[in-house]
Amino acid sequence: MSFKGFTTQLVHCDRLAGVEDGAVHAPIHNSVPYGYAATQDLVDVFQGKQVGHAYARQSTPTLDYLQRKIAMLDESIASLVFGTGMAAIGTVFLTLLKAGDHIVASRFLFGNTSSIFGTLKGYGIEVTLVDATSSEAVEQACQDNTKMVFVETIANPATQIVDLAGIGELCEQRGLVYVVDNTLTSSYLFQPKSVGASLIITSLSKYVGGHGNALGGSVSDTGLFDWSTFPNIFEGYRSGDPSMWGINQIKKKGLRDFGGALSSQAAHLLSVGAETMALRMERQCANALALAKMLDEHPKVAKVYYPGLVSHPQHKRASELFKHYGALVSFDLADGIDCAEFLDKTNIVINATHLGDNRTLALPVAQTIYFEMGLEARQASGISETMIRCSIGIEDTEDLLSDFKQALASS
């Protein structure tokens, strides 16, 4: 029997894959080495002639179960999991690009993703940042040596929505690898494959795991890109099914060579946490919309950044693409209100840097996660000096709204 529902597929994924002894969760395999009675079996695993595990840096049975689950969620042909979301992002860049290549990326990106572009430039990879809310801006930035376009679905923290569909069409026309970071929407709110994404990157630490107790990241190959046309695939990996060449190179040159492996313990936590993703995100998104509307009408709030508001520049686009508008709400306090003093007056809100947690988290953006960027770069990214970023949790809506109201009233 095949299940169509998002959560039904999730909660039965491990069991239907054939877990031993009737277990409903995949077991945790903590072994680093994997031994074989016959030496030739080990040789065949190393040479890719036989399916199996040799060393936990590349794979474990526990990771296989999680990767199968992520591939199902992303409607992809294969997925790889990593120790963190940044390990996934860095590995994609450094295994698929080489000196002399060019990448076009959204200007509105997670701070560490922007930071890694400086590293790429040091290796001779050109990077052009553009306002990707317009696919025309991406097209104008393309060069003869452009190999890849990289965007996020909802920007952190100012919530810009890039032209996901338009960029997908552009990448298909030009034969470019289209990489979409789906972290802030997750596969529950949006399927990047629907806009032509080649690779989907997700920080599993966020809405997939949901409980703030495990780091992890993933890369999924949608099967839409023709890797036989991509010049950067090493000759040794140009064998077998061409649709697997890209993900195989990411695995061999990334997990094996760079070692950004996910532990089986973390994989288990993320896998179990994922089962409630739809339930959590329904509440988180509903809370976020209610809070955004309340803040938008408050006299001590200068501006609210949330795609669910009609005033948001890309509200129509978000409505067409996403199941809901996400659970990230940012806002600028009115002049004269200190960010830290305001946050200290909240009771439910936790002063912390993270996203997708069951608990509502908040921080002053310019003074923390974007401090190193500098004033000029913050302004170019649409980040004010009084911006508060909130990752909305699953608390009862009235409790959450009351907490923000009382903190604003006394500020």
Question: pLDDT by residue (tens digit) across 196-225?
Answer: 999 999 999 999 999 999 999 999 999 999
Write down the pLDDT at residue 180.
98
d(CA 375, CA 366): 8
Residue 226 has pLDDT above 60, yes or no: yes
pLDDT score of 199: 98
Task: Name the more confident of 151 and 3.
Answer: 151
User: What does residue 89 show for φ and ψ, rounded to 5 degrees?
Assistant: -65, -50
What is the percent of the chain with per-residue pLDDT over 90, rounded to a whole number?
A: 77
Distances (CA, A) of 282 to 58, 88, 228, 325, 352: 35, 27, 40, 10, 22
Q: In the numeric block, which tokens belong to residue 310? A: 């009609």
| Residue range 52-109, pLDDT digits in tens | 888 878 889 899 999 999 999 999 999 999 999 999 999 999 999 999 999 999 999 8
Give residue 378's pLDDT.
Answer: 81
| Cα–Cα dist 84/175, whole Å | 29
Residue 398 is inside which H or E element, if any? helix 397-409
Q: What integer pLDDT is reported at residue 394 of this predicted model? A: 98
pLDDT tens profile 337-353: 999 999 999 999 999 99
Residue 328 has phi, psi (to 5 degrees) of -105, 120
Q: What is the mean pLDDT of residues 294-298?
A: 98
What is the predicted pLDDT for the residue at 18? 80
pLDDT at 20 over 90: no
Predicted confidence at residue 379, as pLDDT, reads 81
Within 10 Å of residue 409's Cβ, how many Cβ atoms? 10
- Tell me how far apart the alpha carbons of residues 37 and 368 are, in angstroms, rounded to a whole number: 54
If one compares 2 and 371, the residue with the highest pLDDT of the two is 371
Q: Select from 319, 394, 314 the least CA-distant residue to 106.
A: 314
The pLDDT score that the predictor gives to residue 16 is: 81
Predicted confidence at residue 41, as pLDDT, reads: 86
pLDDT computed for residue 207 by the predictor: 98
The pTM of this model reads 0.94
**Percent of the chain at pLDDT exceeding 70:** 99
Mean pLDDT of the chain: 94
306-331 tens-digit pLDDT = 999 999 999 999 999 999 999 999 99
Of 334, 314, 346, 350, nearest in space to 387 by CA: 334
The confidence score (pLDDT) of residue 3 equals 67
pLDDT at 1 over 60: no
> Whose structure tokens read 């009084």?
386
337 Cβ neighbours under 8 A, 6+ residues apart: 300, 386, 411
Cα 130 → chain centroid: 20
Residue, of 39 and 396, whose pLDDT is higher: 396
Confidence of residue 370 (pLDDT cuts 50, 70, 90): confident
| DSSP per-residue letters across 188-231 | HH--GGGGT-SEEEEETTTTTT-SSS---EEEEE-S-S-GGG-T
More confident residue, 320 or 252: 320
52-61, 249-258, 351-360, range with the lowest pLDDT: 52-61
Report the distance separating Cα 150 and Cα 291, nearest Å. Answer: 30
pLDDT over threshold 90, residue 292: yes
Q: What is the mean pLDDT of residues 125-148?
A: 97
pLDDT grade, residue 15 (50/70/90)?
Answer: confident
Specify whether the backbone of 196 is left (phi greater than 0), alpha (psi in -120 to 50) or beta: left
DSSP helix/strand/coil, 361 = strand
Where does the pLDDT of residue 2 fall: very low under 50, low under 70, confident under 90, or very high at 90 and above? Answer: low
Q: Among 45-49, 158-162, 209-213, 286-290, which stretch is predicted with the lowest mean pLDDT? A: 45-49
Helix axes 6-16, 277-296, angle to 10 degrees: 150
Angle at 399 between CA 396 and CA 403, to 5 degrees: 140
